[in-house]
Structure formats: structure tokens, C-alpha cells
Chain A
Amino acid sequence: MKNLDKNEYFFGHKACAGCGGALAVRIALKTLGERAVAVLPAGCMSAVGFNFPQLAFANNAIISTFAGTASMLTGIVSGLRARGETGFTAVGFAGDGGTADIGIQALSGAIDRNDDILYICYDNEAYMNTGVQKSSLTPFGARTTTTPAGDRIRGNIREKKRMFEIVAAHGISYAATASVGYLRDYVEKIRKAAAVRGAKYIHVLAPCPTGWGTGADETVELAAEAVDCGLFPLREFSDGKFRVTIRRTPNAGAIRAHLARQGRFRHLTEEDIEHVISLTAARSNHL
């Protein structure tokens, strides 16, 4: 960590105080350095980074179409290669909606072609930029504006999509899950990914104080807690094999405490919480 680039490449942006996504982008760019070319689709990080005449990125950065993060990365790699450039990393930063819903076909295509790109999905578990709408990566029970909590339905009735497994199922060169609560692990995974030639995917959990109903200072703690209680396992996929990088056994008490401190889960009944715990235990056995 000491040899991380001292320069700041994502600075002066307009993200909310305590933004997990901004931390994920900042640390990724510090790891990749000046020669990283960033692609951002519609989403929080493009909305807060590019406010003309401001440009909060110090490296080359561009906004893509919502669905086209991965295809623009492909284009950038081919274009720079055609100009004879070497030693750069084409990196995409898309949110959970931009990855698992809207950008999934472009991502799938890029992985299939095994283009030399690094795709980072910062997962804040809903469309936060437009005011907290459910995405397919919103976890069970979470209250969003499109899955409100009432007497009959208590928040999101669907489980979080298993995006990491979907990406791995392509037989990708390298994929990993990470959390802004475990920055050392996150940086190691970015370094590992940058050294691999071919398509790479990193899924980083990035809490959102605005959408999760938590304090601005709790972001990092929540991201670490989600890993520690077993809700968000840190894993890697390479050479066709899955590995768990930080192993934690799901703990019912810790899951309960983790849910209780977030505004989006406050309406959950005992039955709902039991359901979350059993889902987590089932997934853990699967690992």
C-alpha cells in the first residue's frame, strides 16, 4: 500500500460525502496510474466527475452510452493500439445497474472476445444517481423507491443477481469480488487483473450513505461488515477455478446487526431477517 501512486486522479468531484463509489474509483486509479484510460457510463461517477467546465479526472476519461461501457473499452484498446500506444490500461467504472441490467450484453460480448479490458463494477445495490431505484443487484428486502416497504410487500422481493458467477461462467481470464472495507485486498486484485492480458472483471461493494440510509462516516465500516458477517464473500476466479480470498463464516447475529443499522432494511420483520440469514448460509455452503 505504501507504494501506491501519490497523485490523485479522481479529486474535486461532486459525489455525496462518504461515497463508497468515489473511494472505489479513486483507489483503482491510484493503483493503475496515469496511463489508465477510464470509461464511465451514465451513473453516479460520470455525473459527479464531469460537470463542464470541471473535469475531476486527472487521467484520460470519457463518458460512454449507458449500455456501452465494455464496447467503448474495446474501441479504446483497438484505437490506442492502432496509434502504436503501449503500457496503458483501459478501465471501465460502471455501477450495478450499468453492469448487471443495462450494460450486461456489451460486457458479455467483450468477455467473449477476450478483449484486453478491465471492467470494474462499483456495486451500491441500486440506481442511486437517479434517486434509489431497484436494480438487479439490489439485495432481498431492501427498500428503494420502486420497491417500497408496505404491509404486503416489504421492499425488494428478489434476490441479488449473482453477477460474479455470471461473469465467471464466460470462462473469463480473471474476475474477483472486492469491498471498499478491505482496500488492501481490492488493490491486490486490481494489480493482479492489470497484469493479466484479456478481459478482467472486478465487482467492488461500495456502500451509498444516501441510498442505504446510513451515516456518511459509516461507509467503510459497513463495507467491511458486509464481508465479515458473510453477506458479501470476497472471491476470485482465474484459470477456471473459484477461490475465496477472505473466508468468513456467516454469522446470524452479525447479519442481524448489519441489517438493523441500515435505513433501507429497517422495516424487515423477523421472518424476513431469517430468510436473509438462510439465503446467506445456503450461498456459503455453495462456496
Chain B
Amino acid sequence: MKKPYLRAKSAFSIDEYPDSASFTAGYLTTSNGGWRSLRPRPDASKCVMCGQCYLHCPDGTIYLDDATGSYAVDLDFCKGCGICARICKPRAIAMIPESAV
């Protein structure tokens, strides 16, 4: 799966600014994980693999993990909105306060 990803470099010096109006697509330098006050925790044993959480995530942070075969959350970019937990019919996603993690 391809998606925009975090680059190691986070700051730019003035002579590195592009000299035209175009720039590399899919270039990220900061994560959004710190926005979150609640964290989704999917429970694979309750999951029915309908993929509704993956479809409805406005940030596209839920993905099918090929290693485990179940849905996982990219916590670098999840903002903790809770749409996934609400859309989930079998209630397999719990929203846990970040302070409790």
C-alpha cells in the first residue's frame, strides 16, 4: 500500500525552497498523533472484517495489516475523532483516553 509518508527531514533552509511552484507529492514532515485525546483500540476477536472503519476514516489511518490479517490504526496520523468506533456494528473498537495508555 502506498500513501504519503513522513520524511526524516523536518526543517528547510532557504536555498532548499523549490524555485518553481511545484513540489514532491505525498511529502509529510509532521505527524498528527499529538492532536488526539482518545485513541481507538480495535479488538480483533470482535471484528467481522466489514471494513466500515477503514472506509469511513476521514484521515485514512485504518489499514489492513498484512502481517496479522486484521485492521490496525496508524497512530502517527489518527486524530481520535471516533467515527470508526461509532460506525462499528459489532462494537469492536473502543476509544481509550490517551492519559490511560
| Residues of A participating in the B interface, judged by any CB pair closer than 8 Å | 1-2, 4, 6-20, 22-23, 26-27, 52-61, 180, 183, 209, 215-221
| Interface SS of B by simple majority | loop
Inter-subunit contact A61/B25 (CB<8 Å): yes
Query: What residues of chain A lie closer than 8 Å to B59, measured between beta carbons?
Result: 11-13, 15, 22, 26
Query: What residues of chain B lie closer than 8 Å to A55, measured between beta carbons?
Result: 4, 23-28
Query: What residues of chain A lie closer than 8 Å to B31, measured between beta carbons?
Result: 12
Query: What residues of chain B lie closer than 8 Å to A10, measured between beta carbons?
Result: 60
Known: A12-B77, A220-B56. Is A53-B4 also a contact (CB below 8 A)?
A: no
Assign chain B's interface to a size class: 35 or more
Inter-subunit contact A219/B58 (CB<8 Å): yes
Q: How far in angstroms is the closest Cβ of chain B from A206?
A: 9
Does B86 sit within 8 A of A, measured CB to CB?
Answer: yes
Query: What residues of chain B lie closer than 8 Å to A57, measured between beta carbons?
Result: 4, 25-26
Task: Using A12-B32, A17-B81 as known contacts, list a sample of 11 further A-B pairs with CB atoms less than 8 Å apart, ordered by residue number in A.
Answer: A1-B55, A8-B3, A11-B59, A12-B59, A13-B59, A18-B82, A18-B83, A20-B58, A53-B29, A54-B29, A56-B26
Does B39 sit within 8 A of A, measured CB to CB?
Answer: no
Task: Select B58's contact among A6, A18, A56, beta carbons within 8 Å.
Answer: A18
Query: What residues of chain B lie closer than 8 Å to A12, measured between beta carbons?
Result: 3-6, 28, 31-32, 59, 77
Bound-state Cα–Cα, A8 to B59, Å: 9
Task: Select A56's contact among B1, B4, B79, beta carbons within 8 Å.
Answer: B4
Bound-state Cα–Cα, A8 to B5, Å: 10
Q: List 20 A-B contacts (CB under 8 A).
A: A10-B60, A11-B4, A12-B77, A15-B58, A18-B58, A18-B83, A22-B58, A22-B59, A23-B58, A27-B55, A52-B23, A53-B29, A54-B28, A55-B24, A56-B4, A58-B3, A58-B26, A215-B82, A217-B82, A219-B83
